[in-house]
Amino acid sequence: MIIKTIDASVVQKCFLAGANAIDAKKEMINDLNVFPVPDGDTGTNMTMTIMSAAREVAALEEPDMARLCKAISSGSLRGARGNSGVILSQLLRGFTKEISKVGQVDVHVLTKAFERAVESAYRAVMKPKEGTILTVARGGAAKAVEISERTDNLLEFMNTVIMHMRDVLEQTPDMLPVLKEAGVVDSGGEGLLIVLEGAYDALLGKDVNYEVDAGGSVAVSEGTDPEVISDADITFGYCTEFIIMLEKRFDSKEEIEFKKYLESIGDSIVCVADDDIVKVHVHTNDPGLAIQKALCYGSLTKMKIDNMREEHHERVIRDAERKAAQEKAAEEEKEASLPPKGYKENGFISVSAGAGLNDIFKDLGVDYIIEGGQTMNPSTEDIVSAVDHVNAGNIYILPNNSNIILAAEQAKDLIEGKNIIVIPSKNIPQGIAAMINYVEGLSPEENETAMKEGLSSIKAGQVTYAVRDTAVDGKEIKAGDIMGLSDKTIETVGTDIVGTTIDLLKKMMDEESELITIYYGEEGKKEDAEKIEKAVREIDPDVEVEIHYGGQPIYYYFVSVE
């Protein structure tokens, strides 16, 4: 079979097939993470990033290339989570910038798109590391240039590029020793290949899934409960969808107000704004109210109202209502934690997970907490939304996780009208140190310098358990072992939580150590933290030890040495 050109409708199908392919294999990608920690989340981050775009892409009917590319680029950019997700969003951004210029994609256009995708991704990373998703993408672009001179068949072209990228991926352990020791290839590179392989399957005409639900995950086609729910079980009975053809201003302020109105009459809300259209989805008992409000902004088209009491299956509705309730509860909790309204010169946003840690950051002056971190990296859009809640001219953002810094920097590029300062804190103790180093009255530039200097004064560690057998830095690790980790590697391995934590602190302490802080998590115990304190004092009677409740999930202890 020979295919020389494809139009926007085919690109749309290929993208949705690629998104669904990685969604189906995200746990396999998670298992490729080098450190066997229970929050290995490359697959999850990449899936949530691309699914953010897939929701917008799936909503397009008969798209042209420009509209399709904008949906892919803006959706992935705002939905980007973690380093792997940010890099994927930049690859998609560069790729779509090239193909958005044409009506038909051929081998030469695709080659330029691959090259521009790689350029965009490399620019987004301050210190690109070889043996990663970047290397795999660059290998694909190089092969695309080579093969484009020999064939005009897109099928032959894509097959050759993907096979070469697979070869490059297999070589990543030779580029990064830590991959070779763990016996895995780069997880981000694997995720990228799965997306491309899914898109290629669609190009071949294979039977693939193009369905994406409003929540962003693949619609279930098998295994769902066929029993239809009763009317009484559904809070809002009508699934209402339409597109507003904008005739009046609809900026971010209007969008927020419109979403709040929809929330007052329903749930399961999706509101995606483009330059001249707004795609709306809401579950409500009175579709007329949503329609009447929308007419304030322009004329309506593509209207669709379904009676969910007749058409939806029990599991789909139950999941949608649960998700809507969780989102509403989370939003209410965040709103309740906001400071009194009123402009101020400096504001602070911190990523945190755990009631105790949240309280510590609030006591230090943080205005807004983004729930997340180790177990769930917040997206670029989550960070942008947080900035909207802080009424300040200068806003300091503390990612508190090395896998969130890129998303924070990407959010900074999307925000206008406020001076955003990203303090590149890689962990919770660094974030706390940065806040302690902030001095009221100094200029933003002076405080940025002081807060960044505070990061280097902290040695941070964390204690958790292994989820699989592996080997890292010469250490044999079995599933269920307790691990003490620094920012760079796994420092200690044992079978006892307290003992492993003490061993970790021994490695972190030196003659200049003055203060050790222990934050015990939701599965840690204060009495065990006190045992650790006693052991530390036996090692160095002069060192000061503080114990705080952190409440963080997954990690028994966060520790810091100053």
Question: Which amino acid, residue 27?
Answer: E
Overall size of the chain counted in residues: 562
pLDDT in tens, 152-162: 999 999 999 99
C-alpha–C-alpha distance, residues 38 and 409, integer Å: 26
pLDDT at 283: 81
Phi/psi at 259 (5° precision):
-65, -40
pLDDT band at 230 (very low <50, low <70, confident <90, very high): very low
Does position 183 have pLDDT exceeding 60, yes or no?
yes
> Tokens representing 40?
């290995």
Count of alpha carbons within 13 Å of 457, Cβ hemisphere only?
A: 16
Q: Which residue has the tokens 């650790």?
A: 532
Identify which of 35, 30, 115 has the alpha carbon closest to the alpha carbon of residue 469.
Answer: 35
CA dist list (Å): 219 to 7, 20, 48: 25, 10, 15
pLDDT in tens, 399-412: 998 889 999 999 99
Residues 411, 31, 523: CA angle, nearest 5 degrees: 80
Contact predicate 253/261, CB 8 Å = no
pLDDT in tens, 20-67: 999 999 888 888 876 666 555 788 889 999 999 999 999 998 889 999
Does position 233 have pLDDT exceeding 70, yes or no?
no
CB atoms within 10 A of CB 3: 17
pLDDT in tens, 283-333: 888 999 999 999 999 999 878 887 766 654 444 454 555 556 656 665 655
Contact predicate 437/449, CB 8 Å = no
Beta bridge partner(s), residue 420: 395
Q: Where are the alpha helices (DSSP H) in 153-286?
A: 154-175, 177-182, 187-204, 252-265
Note the pTM of the prediction, 2 decimals.
0.67
